[in-house]
Structure 1
Amino acid sequence: MIVPSIDIMDGQAVQLIGGREKVIDAGDPRPIAERFAPVGEIAVIDLDAALGRGSNAEIIEELCRIAQCRVGGGIRDEETAVRWLDMGARKIILGTAASADLLSKLPRERVIAALDARNDRVVVEGWTKETTARVEDRIEELKRFVGGFLVTFVEREGRMGGLPADRVEEVVRRAAGCRMTVAGGVRGATDVEMADRAGADVQVGMSLYTGAMGLAEGFCAPLRSDRADGLWPTVVVDEHGAALGLVYSNLESVRAAIEERRGVYWSRSRGRLWRKGEESGNTQRLLRMDADCDRDALRFTVRQEGSGFCHTGTRSCFGEATGLVQLEQRIRSRLASAPAGSYVRRLLDDPALLRTKLIEECGELMQTVTPDEAAQEAADVVFFALTAAIQRGTSLEAIEAELDRRALGVTRRRGDAKPGAGA
């Protein structure tokens, strides 16, 4: 699949030819990250840090909150690597410093070794120094320490001459067991399709920034369909992963969905684009798109607005929401308009009561003995905690996102109780 790239120099997104000549200054990288975010992980490279002449760390930290980022450039020691993992980088990319000694101290599945090759020889130090090492040899040396590789064909970088198919197939074969990403010379969607068939992702910069390839074209390049109409079945899920319904997509609808950041699909009955909520008002904010393992189906993750997805008025085509999602909906409905005698409304109007009940239920949970008792008291804790959180303007989605962010951290807190907390 496609991995859009944001290369940062002096705080701006840029594109270089051959790693040297700047030919595009794309400006603020933040809106670019927003645009790229729906298609999955993006690569963010700090060129100043890679060249040892500065840092764009503050901007990149912001980008890690906007999109799922692979961060590279200037990561040369364990401390820097761990800091980026703690700050929310999905993966880190190590180049010159990718030694067995350093890599063995890092979580393998979160590390990508970058191997930059000019005419099949590894180049280091920002592509300024050529070595005698072959890319294949370095792959063999490092593959038991990393989860993936990024191989850049430097002599093709920025020139859009096309990926070398034979070289892509060879590095994928050598990296067996590690996910391969290739870069350098991507011309268009045919390169993405070829690499995907070979088993590699494609990191893309120049062709996206020049408009030679659209983001939708790159994302859809590996997709196929066994349907006569060529459509791709698309499972729509909410931000919690619960299925809302089944629709269909094609390149035109995917392009519109990316450009508008909303749920846009293809209507089989009308033979045209269907913008969800255009008539009902139940719109969708597009969060992410994923292709399945066979590349013949899609999943759209959306934030559903209004009464729900289904034309019958329910949240999904499979019925109403359950569990925490249903609880959040009920609390929000009481916040907007509560019936007489509503306990939620009473809690929202009486912060002291809400605080007392939350503390009380936490204590009762800790006194439980059986699984059933624990489930009942934990349900009370969740109810009061979510009510307090919603009252303060946050959401279940934000809470889940924070838990996911914390799970990415490598450094563990001691977790000791605050002084006087148990009093």
Structure 2
Amino acid sequence: MFLPLLLEGDGGELLDALTRIGPVIFSSSRSPDLPLPAHCLILVDHSRPFVLDEAVSWLDRGVEKLIVPLAWAKELIELISSERLLLLLDVGNISAVSDTVRNGVSGVLLKTPAIDLDLISSISKFFTGSAIHVLSSSSVPPTNSLIRGLLGIGATPVLPASQLTLGVTSDAQINIADAFLAPIVSDRPDGLFPTVVSTETGHSLGLVYSSSASVKESILTGKGKGETSGATQDVVSIRLDCDSDSLEFRVVQHGAGFCHLDRQSCFSETSGLPALERTLRSRFESAPEGSYTKRLFSDPELLRSKIMEEADELCRAEDKADVAFEAADLFYFALTKCIAAGVGISDIEASLDKKARRVTRRAGNAKPEWSKQPTAPPPQPIVPVPDTEEDAPIRMRTSDLAHISADERDALLRRPVLKSDEMITRVKPIVDDVRTRGDAALLELTAKFDKAQLESTVVFPPFAADTMVVDPKVGDAIKIAYANIKKFHEAQADTGTLRVETMPGVVCSRFARPIARVGLYVPGGTAILPSTALMLGIPAQVAGCQQIVLATPPRPDGSISPEVMYVANLVGASAVLKAGGAQAIAALAYGTETVPKVDKIFGPGNQWVTAAKMLVQNDTDALVSIDMPAGPSEVLVIADYTANPAFVAADLLSQAEHGIDSQVVLVAVNLDDGKLAEIENEVDIQAHALSRVDIVRKSIGKSIIVKSTSVEEAIAFSNDYAPEHLILHLKNASEKVQFIDNAGSVFVGPYSPESCGDYASGTNHTLPTNGYARQFSGVNTLSFQKHITSQEITEAGLKALGPVVATLADCEGLEAHANAVRIRLRA
């Protein structure tokens, strides 16, 4: 219901009461010598320098989540599960959060001067699917109404300990029980709340009805009902159900039992492990002399021997019944050992939970006395630090096709799983908003996501000259690239009519027509990507599309990069939409008051753009198609003994720098260890010279070297992988192209780097990824054309063809089809 924030020195009775109703946030300045409750979070101060060991230490101590500033988040998201991280963020710094960071955490703690429900609700849409926590710097605690308001929009208030009290609620402090009870509602006339009472391990004891006063009393004192009867409870935790109308108390029961029939539970006698625990506790206190259980409690050596004996018998058991039987025996003796040491099932569960929250792991090897390999080294702690040190060598992983199974080979071909359904769900509200509110939504979303305050969304030609001023060298380079790309794409255009006389008097034709209205998405904002504008705009121009709408995110000042505007003018764009992300795709798909609707959308983008493209393509109301599915960029290089190690390394790195999820594969044909070492050494040297070395370190760390024994085997692997980019560093490389069946684009020989295809050789760089090169072509001129067929049949031709058609129509029971032929034949 709320999260308390305790600083150094806070604790005592206040902490005891708070831990009964939920997790607690501690400051990272809290002494490591102080104990931590079972459920807690750690808030890392903005000024604290990043130390990986410190983060790992907190998590290994059982902390549920770390609340970290942006600098820490960027370091941790590749190492720690998103479920263990919350982002600490000032409410005014949302624009600093990248998609990578947003998707690498499970929620955010927003620091804000005052709680604005509308603002928090708007920000929560940016962090769709994530937990939102709100910490106000106001010295006045929120009212019950404001707490309910925050919870109503899916946000949780964070209250500093200075605003909490065990006493009476005042203007300066709120009683913790009042804050907890703020959202609770009752549908009963008497206002009582159904309350399930359970043991520490969650086994039901009974159902009671609680008043606000009794709940408050239990929170503050930690005591349950039955003081006068002698059957009492120590309250361990109080939880609220999902719709805030009932409670669960977990308690330690004292006395005969919870039920008025002197049973532990009102529903039945306990069974299984709870019953065994209760029996063993009773026997430990008063087992009859001479009983077996008494012997076990009194003779530690006998108990030790029985545990070892039963463990061995469980290991030897094979069928289901025997395994269950032997496991039950082992549980009995193990729990006897626990009870003798004062350890109960709840303590074991707590230990399991704490171990599950550890992020370091031991190797898991058996100790020498239990292992068939007594010389095995003792297990060492493994800390999750995969090659993140600046001086660590940057290396790829290696597999050998000659020594792996079919399943292992299949695993090498797999790409990371794209959670398209999840992303489509997240972008749908954005798409629907633009669809229903048009320009108004587009302007709001551009202000929210691109941090640009615009008065209009679209720029129409003629474009202002001052928006297209570029460096003369850049302008000359764009012109050369434009000429090369246009020349190659003009050669692809289908300008003629195919005519075939299938039989005398029956002529079938096919001819091409441009897609009338196309939308070109060019990623941008802080980036400058005129190359993508060229690759999409030129084939649209060559194909003769009537409307070319180029969409790209604006910069914070509301302008578009002049290089992109320069290209937009070159390719004859009919409009430039100043918007990015899912909102731009929605505007292109449905149109707005100012944005022209298009018939097909092209272009790369992040996962939000990709999900939005997939969503609108499947909406029959949009009547729009897309170029192809998209995934992380990828390259596969096949190299033999003729390959220059420096060239190969450069090709691998040119793709690795795109992002940490880039897919980079080297297939080595009969390369010895020395040659492979040269390539890896070049990768390491060149990578450390790059400004994007941190990105490269992570993407190369996930990349693979695949050893093959022949060019044929290497090409077969590549065809199965179907890479976006395929580079052939092979002897007589041009002779091998005929064997390539699946690839987006092929780069042949040592002097054909992928970079040339990306920018200016003439081929298109918008290519299928994620294995879709098996089914899709890269963007080309024909992508912007559609084909129409026609037929012209003479009277003589119908006399010959008509009976055939009528017979087939009769076979399918379509009389009108047959009649359309026969009425002409009779005439």
Alignment of 1:237-256 (within 5 A): 237-256=198-217
Distance 1:140-1:188 versus aligned 2 partners, 3 A rule = farther
- Distance apart, 1:31 and its partner CA: 4.3
Give the aligned partner of residue 257 of structure 2: 308
Structure 1 residue 193 and structure 2 residue 148: aligned? yes
CA distance in 1, matches of 2:333, 2:38: 31
- Distance apart, 1:380 and its partner CA: 0.8
Structure 1 residue 109 and structure 2 residue 70: aligned? no
Distance 1:194-1:214 versus aligned 2 partners, 3 A rule = same
Give the aligned partner of residue 82 of structure 1: 56
CA distance in 2, matches of 1:99, 1:405: 23
- Distance apart, 1:410 and its partner CA: 1.0
Distance 1:288-1:257 versus aligned 2 partners, 3 A rule = same
- Which of the residues 192, 199, 203 maps onto 2:158? 203
Deviations 1:252-304 (A, max 9, x none): 111100111112xxxxxxxxxxxx12122111111111111111111111111
Structure 1 residue 324 and structure 2 residue 273: aligned? yes
CA distance in 2, matches of 1:213, 1:311: 37
Tell me if the contact between 1:76 and 1:96 (Cα under 8 Å) persists in the aligned partners. no
- Distance apart, 1:379 and its partner CA: 0.8
The structure richer in strand per residue is 1
% identical aligned pairs: 36
RMSD between superposed Cα atoms in Å: 2.1
Query: Which residue identity does 1:69 align to in structure 2?
Result: C
SS across alignment from 1:143 = helix
Deviations 1:385-417 (A, max 9, x none): 111121122222212211111111111112222
- Which of the residues 146, 153, 164 maps onto 2:116? 164
SS across alignment from 2:109 = strand
- Distance apart, 1:140 and its partner CA: 5.6
Deviations 1:178-225 (A, max 9, x none): 011111034232221110011111100142157621101111111112
SS across alignment from 1:229 = coil
CA distance in 1, matches of 2:295, 2:362: 37
CA distance in 1, matches of 2:12, 2:58: 18
- Distance apart, 1:57 and its partner CA: 3.5
- Which of the residues 169, 173, 180 maps onto 2:132? 180
Greater length-normalized contact order (CA 8 Å, ≥ 6 residues apart): 1
Distance 1:290-1:139 versus aligned 2 partners, 3 A rule = farther
Query: Which residue identity does 1:169 align to in structure 2?
Result: S
Query: Which residue identity does 1:200 align to in structure 2?
Result: A
SS across alignment from 2:209 = strand
Alignment of 1:145-160 (within 5 A): 145-153=104-112, 155-156=113-114
Distance 1:411-1:141 versus aligned 2 partners, 3 A rule = closer
Query: Which residue identity does 1:68 align to in structure 2?
Result: H
SS across alignment from 1:312 = coil
CA distance in 2, matches of 1:193, 1:374: 51
Deviations 1:360-400 (A, max 9, x none): 11111111111111111111111111111211222222122
Distance 1:301-1:283 versus aligned 2 partners, 3 A rule = same
CA distance in 1, matches of 2:286, 2:348: 24
Q: Which moved more, 1:30-39 or 1:281-290?
A: 30-39
Structure 1 residue 371 and structure 2 residue 320: aligned? yes
CA distance in 1, matches of 2:164, 2:232: 28
Deviations 1:147-203 (A, max 9, x none): 1110011x34xxxxxx22222222222221001111103423222111001111110
CA distance in 1, matches of 2:49, 2:335: 39
Distance 1:397-1:4 versus aligned 2 partners, 3 A rule = same
Give the aligned partner of residue 284 of structure 2: 335
Query: After TM superposition, what 4+ stretches of structure 1 lie above 4 angstroms from structure 2?
Result: none
Tell me if the contact between 2:38 and 2:62 (Cα under 8 Å) persists in the aligned partners. no
CA distance in 2, matches of 1:223, 1:173: 26
CA distance in 1, matches of 2:95, 2:223: 43
CA distance in 2, matches of 1:413, 1:82: 14
CA distance in 2, matches of 1:85, 1:345: 41
The structure richer in helix per residue is 2
Tell me if the contact between 1:287 and 1:302 (Cα under 8 Å) persists in the aligned partners. yes
- Distance apart, 1:36 and its partner CA: 1.1
- Distance apart, 1:247 and its partner CA: 1.1
Tell me if the contact between 2:73 and 2:87 (Cα under 8 Å) persists in the aligned partners. no
Where structure 1 has 5 or more consecutive residues not aligned to the other structure, the ranges are: 14-28, 47-54, 123-134, 157-162, 264-275
Query: Which residue identity does 1:88 align to in structure 2?
Result: G
CA distance in 1, matches of 2:90, 2:307: 55
Deviations 1:31-82 (A, max 9, x none): 4322210110111113xxxxxxxx43414x51x2x24111022472433222
- Distance apart, 1:341 and its partner CA: 4.8
Scaled by the length of structure 1, what TM-score is found? 0.80
Query: Which residue identity does 1:97 align to in structure 2?
Result: A
Structure 1 residue 212 and structure 2 residue 168: aligned? no
- Distance apart, 1:97 and its partner CA: 1.9
Tell me if the contact between 1:33 and 1:67 (Cα under 8 Å) persists in the aligned partners. no
Where structure 2 has 5 or more consecutive residues not aligned to the other structure, the ranges are: 375-827
Structure 1 residue 280 and structure 2 residue 233: aligned? no
- Distance apart, 1:349 and its partner CA: 2.2
Distance 1:113-1:372 versus aligned 2 partners, 3 A rule = same
- Which of the residues 16, 25, 28 maps onto 1:43? 25
CA distance in 2, matches of 1:192, 1:33: 21
* Bigger Cα Rg: 2
CA distance in 1, matches of 2:328, 2:148: 48
SS across alignment from 1:39 = coil
SS across alignment from 2:185 = coil
Deviations 1:108-160 (A, max 9, x none): 1111001123xxx23xxxxxxxxxxxx2653766321111110011x34xxxx
Tell me if the contact between 2:67 and 2:87 (Cα under 8 Å) persists in the aligned partners. yes
Give the aligned partner of residue 393 of structure 1: 342
CA distance in 2, matches of 1:139, 1:296: 38
CA distance in 2, matches of 1:278, 1:4: 30
Give the aligned partner of residue 260 of structure 1: 221
- Which of the residues 64, 67, 71 maps onto 2:42? 71
- Distance apart, 1:98 and its partner CA: 4.1
Q: Which moved more, 1:89-98 or 1:193-202?
A: 89-98
Distance 1:377-1:164 versus aligned 2 partners, 3 A rule = same
Give the aligned partner of residue 143 of structure 1: 102
Aligned residues between the structures: 360
SS across alignment from 1:97 = helix
CA distance in 2, matches of 1:357, 1:137: 61
Distance 1:99-1:331 versus aligned 2 partners, 3 A rule = closer
Give the aligned partner of residue 351 of structure 1: 300
Tell me if the contact between 2:303 and 2:333 (Cα under 8 Å) persists in the aligned partners. yes
- Distance apart, 1:91 and its partner CA: 0.7
- Distance apart, 1:2 and its partner CA: 0.7
CA distance in 2, matches of 1:367, 1:337: 35
Query: Which residue identity does 2:111 align to in structure 1?
Result: T
CA distance in 2, matches of 1:227, 1:407: 40
Give the aligned partner of residue 231 of structure 1: 192
CA distance in 1, matches of 2:174, 2:49: 30
Query: Which residue identity does 2:21 align to in structure 1?
Result: V
CA distance in 2, matches of 1:7, 1:414: 36
Query: Which residue identity does 2:209 align to in structure 1?
Result: Y
Query: Which residue identity does 2:325 align to in structure 1?
Result: Q
